[in-house]
Amino acid sequence: MKKTMLTLAAVILVATACKKTEETPPADAAVAVDTIAVADETAEAAQPMDSAAMMKAWEAYATPGDPHKMLAAESGNWSAESTMYMSANDPNPMKMAMTSTTKMVMGGRYQESRYSGNMMGQPFEGLATVGYNNASKKFESNWIDNMGTGVMQMSGEYDAATKTINLAGECMDPMTGKTKKMRETWKIVDDNTRKMTLYDTDPSGKEFKSMEIVQTRKK
């Protein structure tokens, strides 16, 4: 009935316009009718999800799966060798030795890693959290450290062929006050070795490797 009334109103509107102008009705009148019809159909289709379906969807979202087991396999203590590059052709990259402890938190839903070392004569500490979002089907990571006040956030997918998690995101550049693109690969070399490579963006927008960390599990 509602559709009929809307259509009738539109027809009357078009007919009135024809009497005044004695010309073909403007195209936007037809568009208005179509828009109203689509909106009406969308409203009818947007039915609320029943409680059982909602519970099932939420349980699937909250239940750890195989990706979380993969993250849990990295639990333990690690030694890390870090190499940092200030530019694409940095002739003297900076080296740093670190240690890290990794564990699963929140009932096995997230991986938490705490890093410590010494950078330029100052104590260094960093905290990484990584999770797998069952809804988006992507890995999501956050990184903070005592060398800044920002949070680096990335997300991406796992490539089973290369055993690599490919992450991408943005972070604030303190030199410019603007965001810039970042990229990271996390490769499972073997059961006791991991290799992380971080890619930064220079002022011209060109990507370059800014850091490489090789982690070895402590026995």
What is the residue extent of each domain of the chain?
A: 2-47, 66-217
Find the range with the poorest average confidence among 116-125, 133-142, 190-199: 116-125
Between CA 67 and CA 71, with CA 68 as vertex, the angle to 5 degrees is: 95
Calculated CA dihedral for residues 157, 158, 161, 163, nearest 10 degrees? 140
CA–CA separation, 194 and 160 (whole Å): 15
Confidence (pLDDT) at 42: 57
Give phi and psi for 187, each to the nearest 5: -105, 135
Task: Give the SS3 label for residue 109.
Answer: coil
Average pLDDT, integer, range 170-180? 91
- Asked whether the beta carbons of 113 and 98 are under 8 A apart, the reply is no
What is the 8-class DSSP label of residue 75? -
What's the whole-model pTM score? 0.76
Residues 168-175: contacts with CB under 8 Å, at least 24 apart: 174/148, 174/150
- Asked whether the beta carbons of 130 and 121 are under 8 A apart, the reply is no
Confidence (pLDDT) at 7: 38
Closest CA to 86 of 217, 203, 219, 215: 203
**pLDDT surpasses 80 at 39:** no
List pLDDT tens digits, range 121-152: 899 999 999 999 999 999 999 999 999 999 99
Query: Which of 1-5, 51-55, 169-173, 213-217 ranks highest by mean pLDDT?
Result: 213-217
Average pLDDT, integer, range 72-101? 95
Closest CA to 211 of 92, 85, 81: 85
CATH superfamily of 66-217: Calycin beta-barrel core domain (2.40.128.20)
CA–CA separation, 209 and 88 (whole Å): 7
Confidence (pLDDT) at 15: 39
Average pLDDT, integer, range 76-92? 94
Confidence (pLDDT) at 48: 77
pLDDT averaged over the chain?
A: 85
List pLDDT tens digits, range 8-23: 333 333 334 444 444 4
Confidence (pLDDT) at 35: 55
